[in-house]
């Protein structure tokens, strides 16, 4: 008998990044933790991409990815869940753009545009970052970033930024 459970009502895109302590492993484990969030379903996961750090260059490259989710969590509820996952991975919030075991950011939540102290949507710098746009365009080639345009067009404008696919192990 088919399930009658309702599909979660909202669509969210989450960026994942890590550059400490086996970064690919942190990102892959975080995909599983996103899939286990209450009132949510993991719909798609991008491949992993390697990119240079933003900010201080004297740190390891990042491994980045994007996940697409359906959720009944509110944007702030989803943010709280992401912060708990980061903490479980040993995330220490030091200086801005410092190395990290895991960074999870809500890129978009439906077409919501908001600017609150704890959350700005869509993510305020996502349209400038190839390491976000390339995996986003992979899993959602027709994705439009509210107020900015098509993800694939924004990616084309990220001249000189490299986000290279990570080879499977």
The DSSP output letter for 61 is: P
Q: Is 157's pLDDT higher than 90?
A: yes
Residue-wise pLDDT for 105-137, tens only, equals 999 999 999 999 999 999 999 999 999 999 999
- HSE toward the beta carbon, residue 13, CA cutoff 13 A: 26
Is 1 part of a structural domain of the chain? no
- 2 within a domain of the structure (yes/no): no
Is 83 domain-assigned? yes
pLDDT over 80 (residue 33): yes
Residue 76 lies in a domain: yes
pLDDT at 5: 60
CATH number for 153: 3.30.70.560
Q: Is-contact 103 16, C-beta < 8 A?
A: yes
Domain span including residue 74: 10-165
Q: What is the mean pLDDT of the chain?
A: 94
Residue 79 placed within a domain: yes
Could you give the angle at the alpha carbon of 149 between the alpha carbons of 121 and 164, nearest 5°?
Answer: 85
Residues with catalytic roles: 91, 100, 103, 105
Instruction: Measure Cα distances from 18 to 8, 35, 37, 57, 101 in Å.
Output: 28, 18, 20, 15, 5
The pTM (predicted TM-score) of the whole model is 0.94
> Which pLDDT tens digit goes with each residue over 53-72?
988 888 999 999 999 999 99
> For position 151, what pLDDT does the model report?
97
List the beta strands (DSSP E) in the chain.
Answer: 10-18, 40-45, 49-51, 62-71, 103-109, 114-115, 120-121, 144-145, 149-150, 163-165
Closest CA to 102 of 115, 113, 93, 110: 93
Say which residue, 5 or 156, is predicted with more confidence: 156
Structural domain includes residue 109: yes
Per-residue pLDDT band for 8 (boundaries 50, 70, 90) equals confident
In this structure, of 14-18, 46-50, 88-92, the range with the lowest mean pLDDT score is: 88-92
């Amino acid at each position: 008998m088919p399930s009658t459970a309702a599909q979660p009502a909202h669509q969210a895109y989450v960026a994942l990044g890590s550059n400490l302590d086996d970064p690919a492993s942190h990102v892959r484990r975080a995909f599983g933790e996103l899939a286990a969030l209450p009132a949510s379903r993991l719909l798609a996961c991008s491949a992993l991409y390697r990119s240079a750090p933003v900010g201080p260059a004297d740190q390891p490259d990042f491994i980045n990815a994007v996940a697409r989710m359906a959720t009944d969590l509110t944007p702030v509820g989803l943010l709280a869940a992401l912060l708990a996952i980061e903490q479980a991975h040993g995330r220490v919030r030091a200086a801005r753009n410092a190395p990290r075991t895991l960074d999870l950011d809500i890129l978009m939540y439906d077409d919501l545009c908001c600017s609150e102290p704890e959350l700005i949507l869509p993510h305020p710098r996502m349209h400038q970052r190839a390491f976000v746009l390339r995996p986003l365009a992979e899993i959602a080639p027709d994705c439009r970033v509210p107020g900015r345009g098509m993800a694939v067009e924004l990616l084309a404008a990220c001249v000189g930024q490299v986000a290279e696919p990570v080879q499977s192990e």
